[in-house]
Amino acid sequence: MIDRIAALGRSGLELLEALGRSGMVLFHALWAWPNLRTTFPLLVKQIYAVGVLSMVIIVVSGLFIGMVLA
């Protein structure tokens, strides 16, 4: 009987510990929320670099794949 009560208490404490850890992760994630005024221009530069500047690679790859398939 005491073992069952101890197991119930142990599982309850483990649940509370997991909830506490999740709450701490959420708190730290919200505390480190980026300032959009300073990070938005950097985000736009990165999107441009990844998207637009890689078009040359995509076009050349498509050209060679098309030649192989033709």
The reply to whether the predicted model has a pTM over 0.75 is no
Q: What is the pLDDT of residues 9-51, one digit of tens each?
A: 999 999 999 999 999 999 998 888 777 788 889 989 999 999 8
Torsion on CA atoms 41, 36, 38, 24, rounded to nearest 10: -130
User: What phi and psi values does residue 4 have, to the nearest 5 degrees?
Assistant: -65, -40
Question: What are the boundaries of each domain within the chain?
Answer: 1-33, 34-70
Q: Name the 3-class secondary structure at 53.
A: coil
